């Protein structure tokens, strides 16, 4: 991404215009369900990206990694604090998820996972990251990623109904 002066700024502005909505959606999925918190994560990640813009080869991957790590820092901080009350925008979130029907129930189930399991599930199935990319993002071993994914999927299967024979047949073209 080596550019100078106004070319650098123009390229960064174009990146933000093209990717901001997807990055906020990603941050919302991996964070606490607050759009305000998701927007804060994205803003901080973009500030950090801008400072390193000329050194970064894949700005989207860098930004997702930064969002993930910033969110992990929030978990660590919250472990040391006792929060009281529920964020105000959670009620609005529930109404929007109810409007999605089955998809809303799936998003609720994913959001109920512990933070690291949720992050692995979102990175793997939403962002199509491989185990190596997820391990690098989380700063852990690939075996840890596979373990977190397994535990997360196991918990999702406990609360999410298994596919019916009709659903399986329509997806695969054959009877299960």
Q: Evaluate whether residue 167 is within a structural domain.
A: no
Contacts for 8 with CB less than 8 Å, ≥ 6 apart: 1, 53, 54
Residue 83 has pLDDT above 70, yes or no: no
CATH no. for residue 1? 1.10.1740
Tokens representing 36?
């305000």
The model's pLDDT over 124-171, given as tens digits with 9 standing for 90+, comes to 988 888 999 999 888 889 999 999 999 999 998 888 765 554 544 544
Q: What is the mean pLDDT of residues 4-15?
A: 84
Please check whether residues 145 and 117 belong to one and the same domain.
yes
Please check whether residues 71 and 7 belong to one and the same domain.
yes
For 1-5, 18-22, 104-108, 115-119, which range has the lowest pLDDT when averaged over its residues? 1-5
Q: Evaluate whether residue 169 is within a structural domain.
A: no
CB 129 within 8 A of CB 115: no
**Domains: count for the chain:** 2
Where in the sequence is the domain holding 11, given as residue range(s)? 1-82
- pLDDT for 5: 61
Q: Evaluate whether residue 174 is within a structural domain.
A: no
More confident residue, 122 or 165: 122
- Residue 110's pLDDT band (cuts 50, 70, 90): confident
Contacts for 109 with CB less than 8 Å, ≥ 6 apart: 156, 159, 160
The b/e string for 154-176 (b: 16+ C-beta within 10 A; e otherwise) is: ebbeeeeeeeeeeeeeeeeeeee
Domain boundary among 82, 114, 145: 82
- pLDDT for 154: 93
The model's pLDDT over 35-64, given as tens digits with 9 standing for 90+, comes to 888 899 999 999 999 999 989 999 999 999
Please check whether residues 60 and 24 belong to one and the same domain.
yes
The model's pLDDT over 15-38, given as tens digits with 9 standing for 90+, comes to 999 999 999 989 988 887 678 888
CATH no. for residue 106? 1.10.10.10
Q: In whole angstroms, what is the distance from residue 101 CA to residue 161 CA?
A: 14
Please check whether residues 6 and 65 belong to one and the same domain.
yes
Q: Evaluate whether residue 173 is within a structural domain.
A: no
Q: Evaluate whether residue 26 is within a structural domain.
A: yes
- pLDDT for 112: 84
pTM for the full model? 0.63
Please check whether residues 61 and 7 belong to one and the same domain.
yes
- Residue 12's pLDDT band (cuts 50, 70, 90): very high
């Amino acid at each position: 991404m080596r550019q100078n002066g106004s070319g650098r700024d123009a390229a960064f502005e174009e990146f933000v215009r093209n990717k901001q909505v997807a990055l906020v959606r990603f941050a919302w999925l991996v964070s606490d369900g607050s759009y305000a918190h998701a927007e804060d994560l994205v803003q901080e990640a973009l500030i950090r990206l801008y400072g390193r813009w000329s050194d970064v080869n894949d700005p989207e991957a860098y930004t997702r990694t930064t969002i993930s790590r910033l969110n992990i820092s929030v978990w660590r901080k919250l472990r040391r604090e006792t929060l009281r009350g529920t964020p105000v925008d959670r009620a609005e979130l529930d109404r929007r998820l109810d409007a999605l029907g089955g998809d809303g129930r799936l998003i609720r189930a994913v959001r109920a996972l512990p933070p690291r399991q949720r992050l692995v599930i979102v990175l793997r199935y939403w962002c199509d990251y491989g185990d190596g990319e997820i391990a690098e993002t989380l700063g852990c071993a690939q075996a840890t990623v596979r373990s977190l994914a397994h535990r997360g999927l196991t918990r999702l299967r406990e609360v999410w109904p298994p596919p019916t024979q009709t659903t399986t047949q329509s997806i695969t073209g054959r009877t299960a």
